[in-house]
Structure 1
Amino acid sequence: MTEVRIPGSKSIMARALFLAAAADGVTTLRRPLDSDDTQAFFYGLRDLGYPTSATDDAATDDAATDDAATEDTATEDTWSVTGSPGGPPVPSADLFTRDAGTATRFLPALVAAGHGTFRFDASDQMRRRPVAPLIDALRQLGVDVTCEQAEGHLPLTVHAAGVKGGAITLDASLSSQFLTAILLLGPLAAEGLRITVGELVSLPYIEITLAMMRRFGATVTRTGDTFVVAPGGYRAQDYLVEPDASSASYFLAAAAVTGRTITVPGLGTESLQGDVRFAEVLARMGADVRATADSLTVTGPPDGRLDGITVNMRDISDTMPTLAAIAPFATGPVRIEDVYNTRVKECDRLETSAVNLRRLGIEVETGRDWIEIQPGQPQAAEILTERDHRIAMSFSVTGLRTPGIVLDDPDCVKKTFPTFHEVFRSVFHR
């Protein structure tokens, strides 16, 4: 049995950084994820005038422990943010949020609670991704938001004068991040918020948001498609960041196709993250899965052969590429449904997965929101990552049983898991 320690959750980090900035007092984040996305958020807060600091309390060793070995990668780094409940301490700022979707969508909501002029821009990749539902929601709250070029896209400027609050409707059909951003803003509004949503994707991410808001002292309720957030702000916390469940999926999937046993500590039945349910998908395919309150263990079939499956991945769509990348090794077709929102991520993940599988010689069909993959033996090819970290990490798993797979941009994993290749190699190529 090999134990793999996964870096902190990107989703939890983004929410924690917003909450820390909005809270009254100093928040300490323990075992933070230090990646390109989280740095974009952290430095964005610094540019907005929030006092921040980062310390390293322990040395980092190897990322995997084999049997009784004592190596440990879970560093005790800490990041701290001194909050400003009234909004950014500076009256103006020009922010560049890189490729970070969470920073790009959360920070405009944060600054709206303050007073000043704040401009946001990002990479070309992020400029292509939509922010229209967020802009519309802010405008419903009376916030002055202007787009410099294409409406509904970056670059944009928020002319902030505080938020009174009230009732709004919000489109969360493309990304749950828009709803999360407005929910997080709610306690900073003078009268709170009442948010009604229509179609909603990735509900588990909203559940993370609600749980963390409550942890930081907010009062928020949900009845059907309506969320009610009371005014009152947030209280600073000492917060331990749990490992990233999406990042764990690559190691669990690798166990399933190699017959290995992999345990991920810190994730289990008590996790806030919905993507831990990817282990249930592997179980349906024939892997042995064991979960405790704070660990997940997957053992693959000895011959590495998994059963075909039809699965709705609407709520765990970040793990869709992981399943697609191991689908050829199943004994029957693998059909993944209800994942339209993967088309508006860092790239069109549904189409990019299909393109790469075809490059590997695998038969694939796709529709608006589904992909069906036939069994087959992948052949060596270059993987087109489209600068998407999840495509790169997913097809690294395929490479365990397909010599000659090459990634065209291996460094794109820095977005969420900078040491992925070193950790993956230490576990599966010893």
Structure 2
Amino acid sequence: MTVIDIPGSKSVTARALFLAAAAEGTTTLLRPLHSDDSEGFAEGLKALGYAVRQEPGAWHIEGRPAGPGVAEADVYCRDGATTARFLPALAAAGHGTFRFDASAQMRRRPLGPLTTALRELGVRLTHGEQEGHHPLTVHAAGVKGGALTLDAGLSSQYLTALLMLGPLTAEGLDITVTDLVSEPYVEITLAMMRAFGAEITRADGADGRTRTYSVAPTGYRACTYAIEPDASTSSYFFAAAALVPGAEVTVPGLGTGALQGDLAFVDVLRRMGAEVEITDRATTVRSTGRLNGLTVNMRDISDTMPTLAALAPFAEGPVRIEDVANTRVKECDRLDACAENLRRLGIDVATGPDWIEIRPGTPAGPVEIATHGDHRIVMSFAVTALRTPGITFDDPGCVRKTFPDFHPVFARFSQAL
């Protein structure tokens, strides 16, 4: 059995940084993720005047409930979607002029649902170039609160940003959601907000199609918060263990009490034939020497769609992944990127607006994977490479976004299988 320590969750680290910055007192984050995304978030907080002290294994953030500690700032969000979407909401609760920009990749990703909602709350903001995209300037004067309606069908991050803003408003916030993707990420948000002292209730609409989140204007309280391992990153190691006959891997720190919905990826592997054991302290996946085809809805765990797509050729039947339209507006169009690279490997693939179907085959190298600068494409096809000699990547370094040491760690892991 191989035991592997996975870096801290990107999603949990980003939320924890926001909550710590907004809280009364000094928060200590244990085992935060060290990656380009999380470092970019921390640098953004520093630019906004928050005190962030980073030590190995622990980050200390002095909260400012009144908002940024400067009256004017320029924040570069790099490639980070959480940075680019969460920090403008945090800044809006303060007072000053705050300019946000991001990489060309992040500039292409939509911001409109969030900025439209902020405008409905009375926040004055302007887009520097294309409406609904970065660059963005927030002219902050605090947020009164109130009620709004949000379509979160493209990304749950819009809802998360507004939920986390709620306790910082003067009167609280009622958010009615008409569509929602990646709902488990919202559950992460709610659990973490409550850990920092927030009060949130949810009411489902009589029509069964809407829900309303009511957030009280409580503010936040500082705490010591431990970051659990990243479930999305764990998916590559779990998939590898399911693929290689006789392999077994255990990830400590991810168990029955884990916040992250992407741990449900192991249920997909179980349906395909792998053995899965989840305890309160760890999750283990074992190969049974075979993988079945299946049809699976991955709307709630869409970040693991590329992992399954890269594993799918080795199944004994077709693998069809449905309801993942939102993966087209990630770091790249992940549906098309997966299809493109699988076809390069000689695999029969079909796609639609929100689905991909991969038929069994033997991937053939040598092939250079077109990563499109997307960390998840690289890490997913590293799984394919376990059974396909000659796979290389046109931009292997883009894994720095979430897991800078991925390549040496995965190489040592694969040798131990």
The interval holding the TM-score normalised by the smaller chain is over 0.9
Match of 2:119 in 1: 139
Tell me by how many angstroms 1:388 deviates.
0.3
2:284, 2:142 → 1: CA distance? 47
* TM-score, normalisation: structure 1: 0.94
Match for 1:359 among 330, 341, 344? 344
2:229, 2:100 → 1: CA distance? 29
Match for 2:156 among 166, 169, 176? 176
SS at match of 2:390: coil
Match of 2:176 in 1: 196
Q: Aligned pair 1:277/2:257, yes or no?
A: no
1:395, 1:223 → 2: CA distance? 41
Q: Deviations over 1:230-283 (max 9, x none)?
A: 001000010000000000000000000002000000001110000000000000
Q: Deviations over 1:129-180 (max 9, x none)?
A: 0000010010000000100110000101000000000001111010000000
State the AA in 1 paired with 2:386: L
2:280, 2:404 → 1: CA distance? 27
In the alignment, structure 1 segments of 5+ residues that lack a partner are 57-76
- TM alignment of 1:28-427, pairs within 5 A: 28-56=28-56, 77-224=57-204, 225-259=211-245, 260-302=247-289, 305-380=290-365, 381-427=367-413
SS at match of 2:387: coil
SS at match of 1:221: strand
State the AA in 2 paired with 1:272: L
SS at match of 1:270: coil
State the AA in 2 paired with 1:138: L
- Contact 1:97–1:122, Cα closer than 8 Å, also in 2: yes
1:222, 1:359 → 2: CA distance? 46
- Contact 1:283–1:289, Cα closer than 8 Å, also in 2: yes
Identity %: 66
Q: Deviations over 1:7-66 (max 9, x none)?
A: 00000001000000000000000011010000010010011110110112xxxxxxxxxx
Match of 1:59 in 2: none
1:121, 1:321 → 2: CA distance? 28
Q: Deviations over 1:327-368 (max 9, x none)?
A: 000000000000000000000001100000000000000000
- Contact 1:389–1:413, Cα closer than 8 Å, also in 2: yes
Tell me by how many angstroms 1:308 deviates.
0.2
Tell me by how many angstroms 1:393 deviates.
0.1
SS at match of 2:176: strand
SS at match of 2:228: coil
- Contact 1:91–1:117, Cα closer than 8 Å, also in 2: yes
Match of 1:71 in 2: none
1:392, 1:145 → 2: CA distance? 36
- Contact 1:262–1:297, Cα closer than 8 Å, also in 2: yes
1:32, 1:423 → 2: CA distance? 18
Q: Deviations over 1:356-383 (max 9, x none)?
A: 0000000000000000000000011110
Match of 1:6 in 2: 6
1:35, 1:213 → 2: CA distance? 23
Tell me by how many angstroms 1:222 deviates.
1.0
Runs of 4+ residues deviating >6 angstroms: none
State the AA in 2 paired with 1:50: Y
State the AA in 2 paired with 1:34: H
In the alignment, structure 2 segments of 5+ residues that lack a partner are 205-210
Tell me by how many angstroms 1:429 deviates.
2.3
* TM-score, normalisation: structure 2: 0.97
- Contact 1:271–1:294, Cα closer than 8 Å, also in 2: no
- Aligned residues: CA RMSD: 0.6
Tell me by how many angstroms 1:416 deviates.
0.3
1:281, 1:181 → 2: CA distance? 29
